[in-house]
A and B are shown apart, each in its own frame.
Chain A
């Protein structure tokens, strides 16, 4: 298969390409761009100047508040931190001391203070898992094994009760690990379910399966996630026989998986629908079985097509995990809210919410960047 490079040039490609001169400097480059797009007419020049002024004002104001006038630490008084200096400059400067004092609670909730290294490692494990899964050279069967091992390790670390780690009940889990557990397990289980539901919904040979899939999607999609979570936490135990009781977090997790799967199924179905019929027929004509066609021809193409809406849904559900607060599970948004509800720190919610926004943004932006990288890579490999 190692053909010399010259052999790859076929007869029709031998013609010399028409030589193209480089475009003149006033057509390309940043100055030309700015002139064409920002200062083309007196009208767009005016708008540009006004916007530049507004943006500068706003960002300078923010920098002044967040950096120049900010207070980073507060002295410790007899009864806890003394926040009077912060209160004195409220509105003029940020009080980042609240983050310094409270970040452990925000990140790990009521997890026993001395054991918080455990959820911290869990967060690191999750992030490591994402990074490894994102790399295409790890897209092998072994990846499933890695997931199983890492998730098991996370379970051991969170619960403890072995290796000399004291047992920590789920009722005191909270903060970032909860957010990551709910969204990672949620999407990891919801995605395969979604693929099966999408395939079932397009099945022509199995009308019963198709009906079931349609019902599932329509029923779940038709109710708000909040009501599903309520059902999972309040109503579900009523239907169970006495003594049988699933944990609250598990029930929320299941509700979350079911909800996400219904949405993802529709995204996947859109991709299936976009494929030309000829792809399936070519597979048929070659004698491939349904699952061979689906796994090797249809899904790889359909899923590539829907990377943007798929990631859109992933991001939406990552943030929707914060809804579990209504059934008394403390995700990272809720712990942040509780942190500023104690009298010492009341009134410094802006700082805390900014801190939380940065955390959420880091995860969501990473997903977004990754997906556009993936898209680029796939479109390159198709030679377009």
Chain B
């Protein structure tokens, strides 16, 4: 299978992959949501995950920073295996930033406070330094002038860019995105995707669940297609989109293209 071949090549590319999933299984009650999912993400690699709704994309990406726990198999992030050990969990959560579909900004804190909360309390950074860092990142996502406002006063696209800045303030080595543009009005999708493209250019390791095929083509080193809890196909975006091997991917692509 191409999957194992790719695993091997990814492993050869870098001695230590940023993320390594090996035969990961997960059940919600009796429902099998992840079936023998194996995947390796090299340092600085950009992976886009796509697939129909309910195929387990969110579950997989949330297992990587252990917002969900898996029941079988192993997940190693930056050399640390994910177990119930709290210290390992701590390390990984500092290394891995996450951006959610629904932004999940803290509505009672200002934009600046949203960004400085974790650096101050988790990284124990002095407040002034954390604020300087946060302003740097807010400039990078092009909204430094909103720093004193509250999330409710910002548009969806602006909120999502703040969420990206907030995650970056923890200086993560890996960024996870779970459908970052799905909750946005069409005219705001571009500003968020542009921010993500800018981030990709800095060499950040990224795993991104999205159906934005243009983004995948432009940025992704590899696209992973999931269906019913399995990784069905993966490969470079051009090859995968132009030349799908399985009926499932063909069906999915035709639906996506019709939808757009």
Contact of B67 among A12, A285, A288, A292 (CB under 8 A): A285
Contact B170 A287 (CB under 8 A): yes
- From B104, B152, B153, B167, residue with most partner A Cβ within 10 Å: B104
Residue numbers in A under 8 Å from B201 (CB-CB): none
A88 CA / B100 CA spacing, docked (Å): 78
Closest A residue by C-beta to B154: A383
- Give per-residue flags for B165-199: 1 if the beta carbon is below 8 A from chain A beta carbons, else 0: 01100100000000000000000000000000000
Closest chain B residue to A380, Cβ basis: B150
For A1, the chain B residues whose CB sits under 8 A away are: 112, 131, 135, 144, 147-148
Residues of the B chain whose Cβ atoms lie less than 8 Å from the Cβ of A75: none
From B65, B105, B122, B152, give the contact of A288 (CB < 8 A).
Answer: B122
**A204: CB under 8 A from chain B?**
no
- Does A383 contact B170, Cβ atoms closer than 8 Å? no
Closest to B153 in A: A383
B121 in contact (CB, < 8 A): yes
Q: How far is the CB of A192 from chain B (nearest CB, A)?
A: 20
The residue among A3, A285, A296, A383 with the most chain B CB atoms within 10 A of its own CB is A285
Binds A, one of B18-26, B73-81, B89-97: B89-97
Interface residues on A, range: 20 to 34
> A301 to B193, alpha carbons, bound, how many Å?
30
A288 to B121, Cβ gap below 8 A?
yes
Chain A nearest CB from B151 CB (Å) reads 8
Residues 249-263 of A, flagged 1 when their CB comes within 8 A of B and 0 if not, give 000000000000000
In the A-B complex, the 10 residue pairs with the smallest Cβ-Cβ separation, listed nearest first, are A383-B153, A287-B93, A282-B104, A286-B118, A278-B104, A285-B98, A383-B152, A287-B122, A383-B150, A3-B145
B102 and A278 form a contact (CB under 8 A) = yes
Q: Is the Cβ of A286 less than 8 Å from the Cβ of B117? A: yes
Q: A382-B107, A382-B152 are in contact. Are A286 and B100 (CB under 8 A)?
A: no
**Which A residue's beta carbon lies closest to that of B150?**
A383
**Contact string, A346-384, partner B, CB cutoff 8 A, digits 1/0?**
000000000000000000000000000000001001111
- The 0/1 profile, CB within 8 Å of A marked 1, for residues 106-146 of chain B is 11100010000110011000000001000100000000111
B-contacting residues, A301-320, CB 8 Å: 301, 304
Query: Which of B146, B153, B155, B167 contacts A12 (CB under 8 A)?
Result: B155
Which residues of A lie under 8 Å from residue B117 when comparing CB positions?
Answer: 286, 288, 296-297
Residues of B within 8 A of A (CB): 65, 67, 90, 93-94, 96-98, 100, 102, 104-108, 112, 117-118, 121-122, 131, 135, 144-153, 155, 158, 166-167, 170
Q: Are B152 and A282 in contact (CB under 8 A)?
A: no
A48 at interface by CB-CB < 8 Å: no
A279 x B104 contact (CB < 8 A): yes
C-alpha gap A287/B89 in the complex (Å): 8
- What are 26 A-B contacts defined by CB distance under 8 Å? A1-B135, A1-B144, A1-B147, A276-B104, A278-B102, A278-B104, A279-B104, A282-B98, A282-B104, A282-B106, A285-B97, A285-B100, A286-B118, A286-B122, A286-B167, A286-B170, A287-B90, A287-B93, A287-B118, A287-B170, A296-B121, A297-B117, A301-B108, A381-B150, A382-B107, A382-B150
